[in-house]
Structure 1
């Protein structure tokens, strides 16, 4: 009897604890957002990337002469011109919009109204005054319900097509996952309909080897190449501003040089070094991690995109942009995939919850015709609320640590005057990070050892040799372009 009372008390105690836990969950955790498995917030849903639509082509590849020959061979049927009982009132200028048949094969399809023509060859019906139906080369259809997509909005780089079918299985499935209390007030927050973004700009034809403008030459009149190496060492390696670099050269070495001349030297060095850094054949692994951070350009927010090889931690893709769209994301990913003919086995691309990365991966799949197919593993939020975040959080922390390392060198600049200044500063910093900076996780060695730099004992000399290697890369690129042309 005592055992039964003890068990009853234990059950009541457990029931009390369960009730307290339920109160805590209902108070602090919004359960209605758990219905979406990829994010706890509905604001991420409208950026979700759907699968590709069905493309129905309406292009007529056969000419009227080919059709007549085909009918003769396949069905032993000869298509002759229209036999007219009276005077022909079909204009000689009329031709079939579909197969381009001449007026001899056209007839009026609506009797005395004479507003619609019928082609005897391809059986197409059309109005002579309008050809809008035949101007369409293709139509986009929803992959879930086969409903034609509607052109909804025009963005800067793409067009948004939307499936407006209320009986679409995709729409009904998402609608059932939304809390009934949100159907009247907060329904617009959730992405319910199928959406496809059609890009109008081909980011795969843009030049990723952009160089800063207005750089000075390497013919020194007042100073020599050693002074240029000192400027790079103080500005890039030590993270000094332009004016403090000028002051350090004067106080330590007795070299009186203006901060503007220091900036000119840095631009020249960036022009030479960037081709070597961008075209270097990095030994990369099968895990890439990416992120974007913001900077200030004339007081306006700009963005820097970084893509890092998680195994060696080299920066293999980077880009500066004035927007956070998918275009700069594609450009940085093109730089990262530059030397890859095919993706490594078990390839992983890890990023945050921003929609530009899945959309860029979708464009790579389209452009490569299915050869570059990979998924984006998205680590969302700051806490490990799901198994994906627990497993891939260390990779996300790598790229976040890289952002903080760059920000430490960027902060003394107080922002850039223009985007060219941001470009040359980033190009020099990436060259320093990949080839000159000792890293703790690599036993205080550089990430990528270049044989020519091993025998140089001081940093100004290494910068001079890096500039020379960049010049050799420029000559090689020019020779390849000349041979191709």
Structure 2
């Protein structure tokens, strides 16, 4: 018996050595599946990558007299005023001062031959016509400390690039390029550090501002109940405008035009939106986000949706004509405003591999000092551990997109931006407060409002939802008037 146990132990030790050798061999010579989306192995994923934030040195106002005192102590003499050429007056206007240190015009000289750029002799700052500073802040590479250079100007941002060939980030990426790649194909790979500086502040935009097409209800021929019927057929039953008109005529013998149905829907969306956006959803720390395609005037547009993974409520939504970081920031702002206190690093934010989400997270770090950790689930199959763990989040938001598309397909696209906005607003209100959800809520709405539970039918619930929106608008207007009176 002892001999058999001894032989088995020897076999187990031999197998252990073989397994260790195979693991080392695979790690060295066989690429693992989770490397499939590495930027150095798949150049087509370059646009999905986002580098970390640069070192930002902000613009700080200085005093030119302190500079002069420093020069006097350091070098034994202060900076002398600019001496113009013999027989020529000083070319800088007398009311010009340096925007950085405040030096008067005697210390400022023309820097580019009369084409508008000036330079201060005291602090060395360049500026244009004494008004605009050329470089209000300085951006440095977080890997080498080299100053970033602007290389591209886009509609809402500027791309800065680290051009230092000795940067550790550049050297590391260069070494990982496949050896058989010719130098002419290096442009396909992301080698240099890049940063996008946004020129539009998406955090100053008012998300609750009423649109320009907002109108009021005027029931000349019809009643509020007929308006509720229009919303029920239009939103709940996913009928088009003309199908809604036909249903009202065939079922209820009500004559109404599709233009009037459209006007009812647009106005109801404006009134309901404040209630939907300000409702206390009590969100969890697990959010899922995605964007889906729609058509506006025959052109591709996008709808951004952010939902709570636990309650399944839609917390953020936005309609945009472009698929960039700006609309993503606005949708995330709308979702994060539902938190009474931002959870910070405890927040689990799941999205796809699009680069707009990490870029938006960087802007929240800069503007709000919020740490938004974005976990990206790439592809349709679980090729890595991250996808395996967070695939259920992605499936939930994809099912939400499918539910939205069921109501969108009957429209065959929207003819105007406002049509897409009001249709999305009404659908979100219906999804959060009126639609029965079988699995999660037992054939009840996601958010049960006591006032809505008292209505016997769906047209009545739409009327009560409009009433709740009106109360929120009145409360907001009262608070604004009170704030103005206090001032």
For the criterion TM > 0.5, the same-fold answer is: yes
Residue 50 of structure 1: aligned partner: 51
Residue 474 of structure 2: aligned partner: 475
After superposition, the Cα gap between the structure-2 partners of 1:78 and 1:431, relative to the gap in structure 1 and judged at 3 Å, is: same
After superposition, the Cα gap between the structure-2 partners of 1:275 and 1:153, relative to the gap in structure 1 and judged at 3 Å, is: same
Displacement, 1:44?
2.0
Residue 409 of structure 1: aligned partner: 407
Residue 111 of structure 1: aligned partner: none
User: For residues 465 and 56 of structure 1, what CA distance do their matches in structure 2 show?
Assistant: 53
TM-score (norm 1): 0.81
Residue 112 of structure 1: aligned partner: none
What secondary structure sits across from 2:180 in the alignment? helix
Q: Are residues 1:449 and 2:423 paired? A: no
After superposition, the Cα gap between the structure-2 partners of 1:296 and 1:168, relative to the gap in structure 1 and judged at 3 Å, is: same
Displacement, 1:69?
8.0
User: For residues 158 and 80 of structure 1, what CA distance do their matches in structure 2 show?
Assistant: 38
What secondary structure sits across from 2:399 in the alignment? helix
Summarize deviations over 1:198-221 as a string: whole Å, max 9, x none: 000011111212545445532311
Residue 144 of structure 1: aligned partner: 143
Residue 392 of structure 2: aligned partner: 394
CA contact (8 A) 2:152 2:160 kept: yes
Residue 285 of structure 2: aligned partner: 286
State how many pairs are aligned: 448
User: For residues 442 and 141 of structure 2, what CA distance do their matches in structure 1 show?
Assistant: 54
4+ long deviations beyond 6 Å: 29-33, 68-72, 77-82, 87-90, 92-96, 103-107, 116-119, 125-134
Gaps of 5+ in 1: 1-6, 108-115
Farther off after superposition, 435-444 or 382-391: 435-444
Equivalent runs, 1:238-387 vs 2, <5 Å: 238-344=237-343, 346-368=346-368, 370=369, 372-387=370-385
After superposition, the Cα gap between the structure-2 partners of 1:33 and 1:89, relative to the gap in structure 1 and judged at 3 Å, is: same
User: For residues 407 and 260 of structure 2, what CA distance do their matches in structure 1 show?
Assistant: 20
Q: Are residues 1:221 and 2:220 paired? A: yes
After superposition, the Cα gap between the structure-2 partners of 1:291 and 1:134, relative to the gap in structure 1 and judged at 3 Å, is: closer
After superposition, the Cα gap between the structure-2 partners of 1:78 and 1:268, relative to the gap in structure 1 and judged at 3 Å, is: same
User: For residues 466 and 129 of structure 1, what CA distance do their matches in structure 2 show?
Assistant: 55
User: For residues 152 and 375 of structure 1, what CA distance do their matches in structure 2 show?
Assistant: 28
User: For residues 101 and 271 of structure 1, what CA distance do their matches in structure 2 show?
Assistant: 53
CA contact (8 A) 1:306 1:332 kept: yes
Displacement, 1:269?
0.9
User: For residues 418 and 211 of structure 1, what CA distance do their matches in structure 2 show?
Assistant: 17
Displacement, 1:388?
0.4
Summarize deviations over 1:288-344 as a string: whole Å, max 9, x none: 100000111111111000000101010000000011011110110110011335432
TM-score (norm 2): 0.81
Displacement, 1:348?
0.5
Gaps of 5+ in 2: 1-10, 110-117
User: For residues 304 and 125 of structure 1, what CA distance do their matches in structure 2 show?
Assistant: 48
User: For residues 341 and 93 of structure 1, what CA distance do their matches in structure 2 show?
Assistant: 53
What secondary structure sits across from 1:44 in the alignment? helix
Residue 110 of structure 1: aligned partner: none
What secondary structure sits across from 1:276 in the alignment? helix
Q: Are residues 1:197 and 2:199 paired? A: no
